[in-house]
Amino acid sequence: MPITPTGKPLLDAALGIRQEKPPVWIMRQAGRYLPEYRAVREKAGGFLDLCFNPDFATEVSLQPLRRFDLDAAILFSDILVIPHALGQPVRFAAGEGPLLEPLDANAIDQLTPETALEQLEPVFEAVSRIKSALADDKTLIGFCGAPWTVATYMLGGKGSPDQAAARLFALQHPEAFAALIDILVEVSARYLIAQFRAGADIVQIFESWALNLDEDAFVHYVLGPNARIVERVRADIPDAPIIGFPRGAAGMIGRYATETGVNVLGLDFSMPVGFANKMLPETLTVQGNLDPLRVVAGGKQMEDRARAIVDGFKNRPHIFNLGHGITPQTPIEHVEVLIRAVKQ
């Protein structure tokens, strides 16, 4: 059955309608590279105060669209609002990133999934406000962190280059780990459902730490939980459009696409365009995948690589994005040039 266009280029691309020019959004497009974001961040105080204040969260979500010709706003929040809502305190230390008190096997039973969504009500209010402020042709993206990625912070207490604490915990305490994943699947799915009901057009599941896993671990920690979230969301929101971003999935991207059932497969910047085209169904929309440091450097190399990505995916639906989040030192004028190059 033909898909009826929505009038939103990015949402249409996500639904499988190839656009003449790829729609564009940028991961972390609301962030520290923008002076107006830094001003609001200063006013908010703590980072979570910014995330949980609907006025501030709405403002910073809309800021990038005032500067750039972007096709979507993404809710300003953080993947770690989920553990915070589950009763595991999260704090953000300058220069250190997020810090949590690591869970042990006994502490998992002390989490509070039954009241988690109540703690997240300010997020849903922000979604509603952002949606009401957007032009009709702009898409609103909601999101959550994937269970494995969120669990790595909950078990390790902070980000790490190899997620060793969580990997070891999963091997040594499989029952406790499975219980934690079950909680995260259910709460994350309910969180995304609530975002859809508040006005999100599409949501993204950030599996930011899909790398560093062997094949068996990837199947059990990434594929299974992500597929369960998609199924659970669509049980309440039929045909819900969903982006999966399994950073570092490498040779497992084909299985991720087919076994999770996502509408869009987000590609990290290490993924070769030709390999992605070979491994993924030709009707599947892809998103990505410029190296963020190319935008920091700017110039001809950035434009050439961006055009090569657009050309490489010209025969399938494609949403242009970076292959990971934009970095704080990125010059604003480089972002302007990048978007103009892609749109032209």
Is 191 annotated in the active site? no
Q: How many CB atoms lie within 10 A of CB 305?
A: 18
Give the CA radius of gyration of the chain: 19
Residues 6+ apart with CB under 8 A from 268: 245, 247, 248, 249, 288, 289, 323, 324
Tokens of 136: 């009709």
* Phi, psi for residue 30 in degrees, rounded to 5: -100, 110
Q: In the chain, what is the straight-line distance between the N-terminal and C-terminal CA atoms, in Å? A: 31
Length of the chain: 344
Residue 114 is classified by DSSP as: G
Asked whether the beta carbons of 30 and 60 are under 8 A apart, the reply is yes
Is 38 annotated in the active site? no
- Count CA atoms within 13 Å of residue 326 on its CB side: 23
Q: Which member of 12, 33, 37, 41 is catalytic?
A: 41
Residue 210 to residue 190: CA distance in whole angstroms:
22
- 180 three-class SS: helix
Is 41 annotated in the active site? yes
Residue 202 to residue 140: CA distance in whole angstroms:
7
Is 28 annotated in the active site? yes
Tokens of 181: 């994943």
Q: Which member of 18, 67, 78, 236 is catalytic?
A: 78
Q: Which member of 32, 38, 67, 232 is catalytic?
A: 32
Could you tell me which of 326, 308, 327 has the C-alpha nearest to residue 318? 308
Residue 263 to residue 257: CA distance in whole angstroms:
8
Between the alpha carbon of residue 304 and those of residues 298, 311, 341, the distances in Å are 10, 10, 9
Give the burial class of 4: count Cβ atoms within 10 A of its Cβ; 0-12 exposed, 13-18 middle, 19 or more buried: exposed
Q: Which member of 33, 37, 153, 191 is catalytic?
A: 153
Tokens of 325: 């989040």
Residue 310 to residue 318: CA distance in whole angstroms:
8
Is 32 annotated in the active site? yes
Which residues participate in catalysis according to the annotation?
28, 32, 41, 78, 153
